[in-house]
């Protein structure tokens, strides 16, 4: 059986400086569309001031993720980069958290826990376009 790659790119807009955007459905729809049944699913965002996480999406915990970031990487700290464009915290948090996640794809289903949702973290919004690349690899 041959190996295939299916790629889709999406764009979402964000409305606040800090925001959690759930993208699980978008990713899982891409998996269905691909027809690929076994392999891997890569979720990647080509941005230096946003991040991708996998965890529970519930309003309180969603705001806790953002509070955690603000507490440990304070936006108003005197970062050197803030003299240029005032978003050093977003670069640092994006570096630590990461811009991608990979998932196993087994029997046509992206494998994740019951409480695991895929989320984009906006760290320097609002932005008109945050790109999300979903690549499904397998057979
Ligand atoms: Zn910057």
Q: In this predicted model, what pLDDT tens digit does every residue of 91-105 receive, in sequence order? A: 999 999 999 999 999
- Name the superfamily (CATH) of residues 4-138: YjbQ-like (2.60.120.460)
Q: What pTM did the predictor assign?
A: 0.96
Q: By percentage, how much of the chain surpasses pLDDT 70? A: 99
Q: What angle do CA 66, 110, 32 make, to 5 degrees?
A: 110
Band of residue 1 on the pLDDT scale cut at 50, 70, 90: low
Section 117-137 average pLDDT: 98
Between the CA of 47 and the centroid of ligand 1 the distance, in Å, is 11
Ligand 1 centroid to Cα of residue 101, in Å, is: 23
Residue for token pair 């001031």: 49
Q: Average pLDDT for residues 56-64, to the nearest whole number?
A: 97
Section 58-81 average pLDDT? 97
Residue 91: per-residue pLDDT: 98
Per-domain boundaries in the chain: 4-138
Please give the distance, rounded to the nearest whole angstrom, from the Cα atom of residue 30 to the centre of ligand 1. 31
Q: Burial of 129 by CB count in 10 Å (0-12 exposed, 13-18 middle, 19+ buried)?
A: exposed
């Amino acid at each position: 059986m041959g190996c295939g790659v299916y790629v889709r790119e999406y764009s979402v807009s964000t409305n606040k400086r800090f925001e959690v955007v759930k993208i699980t459905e978008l990713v899982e729809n891409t998996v269905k569309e691909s027809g690929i049944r076994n392999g891997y699913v890569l979720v990647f965002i080509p941005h230096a001031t946003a991040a991708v996480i996998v965890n529970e999406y519930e309003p309180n915990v969603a705001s806790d993720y953002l509070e955690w970031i603000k507490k440990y990487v304070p936006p108003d700290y005197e970062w050197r980069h803030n003299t240029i464009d005032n978003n050093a915290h977003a670069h640092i948090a994006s570096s630590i958290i990461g811009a991608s996640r990979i998932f196993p794809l087994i029997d046509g289903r992206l494998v994740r826990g019951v409480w695991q949702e895929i989320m984009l973290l906006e760290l320097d919004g609002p932005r008109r376009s945050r790109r999300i690349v979903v690549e499904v690899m397998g057979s």
